Amino acid sequence: MTRPEGPPVDEPLSPAEGAALLGPWIGPAATYRGAVLAVSGGPDSTALMGCAALAERGIPVIAATVDHGLRPASAGEAEGVAGLAARLGLIHRILPWTGPKPASRLQEAARAARYRLLADLARETGADLVLTAHTLDDQAETVLMRLCAGSGPAGLAGMAPARALDGFTLGRPFLGVPKARLVATCDAQGWPFVRDPSNTDPRFGRARLRHLMPLLAEEGLTPGRLARLAGRLRRDEDALAQAAASALRDLRCPSPGGEGSLTLDGPGLAALPEALALRVVGLAVAAAQGEAGHGDPRAYPPRLDRLERIVLGEILPALRGGLPCRRTVAGLLLAAGGGRLTMSPAPPRRFPGSRPA
């Protein structure tokens, strides 16, 4: 019989465990200026706020609740968080999401609004860190969702323990902690919390996958194993990203197209392993978008399946065979020929019946 790893999944975090998890972020040796805690009022974020209140802190900490205004009870729930924060001795702010709400992709829009409001508060208060209470279970669900969407290794690497967010750092100190332990922590400490009904609403994909998790666990696909898979893929992804960035620097050539274009050495690109060549072209596309004045290239990267079809199925074979090839990707014209792969802004699309200006 396989023994479970780590403490029981329903064992509360001790104050020492909570302090150890939060220490690198907000402890006496923390290198950040200040932190904003994202506290929705659910058990995970309530545990984050409570553990932060009990831990020795070396930087200013403020708790914040985004009221999306999507449910009649949301305002009262935010006030409840404010009351608990006061009891714990923490400063708290309620951040309302105002304005019209989209009729479709509501959860995505709400997530974007939440991070924007949290970043705005961090900027206002001089903080450079935003902490969320994403758990091991959230990581497992994220991996499953991205697997269903056909993501590659970068997507299946799941959520990073830390990433850049609008000029700040977004940290996830509980990413390796099962959700049940945070629920148990709130119960043990007497910290009240609420449950968001959208978490079990079958209209949302994450909620539907959440219902499947117990069945998958019976077959051995536990949240812990999914999170371990994400960690391994993130390790490999980091190595591939470093190798691709180095290869891109080596393969860049003076561009005959001038400003706004980017050129790579064709034979050198074609000689790379396909996984690395694909990543190099993806990085080059992002760089070319930026140089062409398209703003933040991360906002609209090319889809992996399209990039695979064009790069692996057409561009690389053309470079190896010395044949010309021209394809459009993410607003850029990729032209292979003459031993080069050049990227430049794509010309305006012409529609049937239209005439040149």
Which residues have CB under 8 Å from 346's CB, separation 6+? 328, 331, 332, 333
Q: What is the Cα gyration radius of the chain? A: 24
- The 8-class DSSP code of residue 58 comes to S
Q: Kindly report the number of other CB atoms within 10 A of residue 245's CB atom.
A: 12
CA–CA separation, 30 and 25 (whole Å): 5
Of 231, 226, 233, which is closest to residue 152 (Cα–Cα)? 233
State pLDDT tens for residues 245-264. 999 999 999 877 666 789 99
What is the rounded distance in angstroms from the CA atom of residue 66 to the CA atom of residue 95?
Answer: 5
- Check the CA dihedral 5-174-195-221 and report its sign: negative
pLDDT tens figures, 212-239 = 899 999 999 999 999 999 999 999 999 9
Q: Is the pLDDT of residue 115 over 80?
A: yes
Q: Are 196 and 65 in contact (CB under 8 A)?
A: no
pTM: predicted TM-score of the whole model, two decimal places: 0.83
In 190-261, which ranges are continuous DSSP H helix?
205-218, 223-251
**pLDDT for residue 299 is more than 50:** no
Is the separation of the CB atoms in 128 and 168 below 8 Å? yes
What pLDDT, in 10s, does the model give residues 12-65? 999 999 999 999 999 999 999 999 999 999 999 999 999 999 999 999 999 999
The whole-angstrom separation of Cα 22 and Cα 53 is: 11
Q: How far apart are CA 286 and CA 293, in angstroms?
A: 11
Q: Which region holds residue 231: left if phi is over 0, alpha if psi is between -120 and 50, else beta?
A: alpha
- Side by side, the strands of the sheet bearing 61-67 are 91-96, 61-67, 35-38, 129-131, 168-171, 162-165
Which residues make Cβ contacts (< 8 Å) with residue 206, sequence separation at least 6? 107, 141, 145, 199
Is the CB of residue 169 less than 8 Å from the CB of residue 257? no
What interhelical angle do 136-148 and 205-218 show, nearest 10?
A: 100
As a whole number of angstroms, the distance between CA 31 and CA 162 comes to 14
CATH of 15-231, one of 3.40.1160.10, 3.40.50.620, 3.10.20.30, 3.40.50.720: 3.40.50.620
Q: Which of 21, 338, 8 is nearest to 173 (CA)?
A: 21
* Residue extents of the structural domains in the chain: 15-231, 254-345
340-350 confidence digits (pLDDT tens): 999 999 887 66
